[in-house]
């Protein structure tokens, strides 16, 4: 359909919670196609609707590598229904061009969502895989949460943001997840 402009960190709408999709209409299917087109054009792994200025609970992911065929996955109204383990790994985001920092994530997640035809599915991603981390990252966008809110070291993250002329982290937005912290301290 169309490659859309990706909103950059600092845009107010990236911090707004998204609305549930009540019907997987032609409009939503076009949104999904725009998300995929934009994600592939930007060489991204995932993209959430709020990143293109549309506050609906929709995101897309493709974790295929260069030598694998494309494998687009669509998540409409996703809910993470199970999470366990913990990992610290480097993440970036299309809304933060070229900026990467270490973040805290669950190692294993199970998500329930609908596909682009409105069919429900459950998907499990394990072992701190790129898919497990991408699901959490994109799902956060739907709640107005950004990857830097999960930073492992606020000062390193701020240095990285400054290098790319991006605003610093808002310390009030840093998420402290006791379960995740306990897992990481084991």
Question: Residues 132, 48, 171, CA angle at the centre, nearest 5°?
Answer: 80
Cα dihedral 153/156/162/164 (nearest 10): -100
160 is annotated as an active-site residue: no
Other CB atoms within a 10 A radius of the CB of residue 90 amount to 10
Active-site hit among 138, 159, 178, 181: 138
Alpha carbons 39 and 63: distance in angstroms, whole number: 11
Task: Note every long-range contact of 149-157, with CB atoms under 8 Å and residues 24 or more positions apart, other chains counting.
Answer: 149/173, 149/174, 149/175, 150/103, 150/104, 150/105, 150/175, 151/101, 151/102, 151/103, 151/104, 152/88, 152/101, 152/102, 152/103, 152/104, 153/101, 153/102, 156/101, 156/102, 157/101, 157/102
Active site residues: 138
């Amino acid at each position: 359909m169309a490659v859309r402009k990706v909103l950059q960190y600092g845009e107010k709408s990236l911090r707004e919670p998204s609305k549930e999709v009540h019907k997987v209409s032609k409009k939503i299917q076009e949104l999904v196609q725009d998300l995929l087109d934009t994600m592939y054009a930007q060489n991204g792994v995932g993209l959430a609707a709020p990143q293109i200025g549309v506050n609906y609970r929709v995101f897309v992911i493709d974790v295929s590598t260069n030598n694998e065929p494309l494998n687009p996955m669509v998540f409409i109204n996703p809910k993470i229904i199970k999470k366990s383990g913990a990992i610290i790994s480097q993440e970036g985001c299309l809304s933060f061009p070229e900026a990467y920092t270490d973040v805290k994530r669950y190692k294993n997640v199970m998500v329930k969502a609908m596909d682009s035809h409105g069919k429900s599915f459950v998907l499990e991603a394990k072992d701190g895989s790129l898919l497990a981390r991408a699901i959490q990252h994109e799902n956060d966008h739907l709640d107005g949460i950004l990857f830097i809110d999960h930073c492992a070291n606020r000062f390193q993250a701020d240095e990285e943001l400054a290098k790319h002329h991006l605003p610093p982290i808002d310390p009030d937005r840093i998420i402290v997840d006791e379960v995740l912290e306990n897992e990481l301290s084991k």
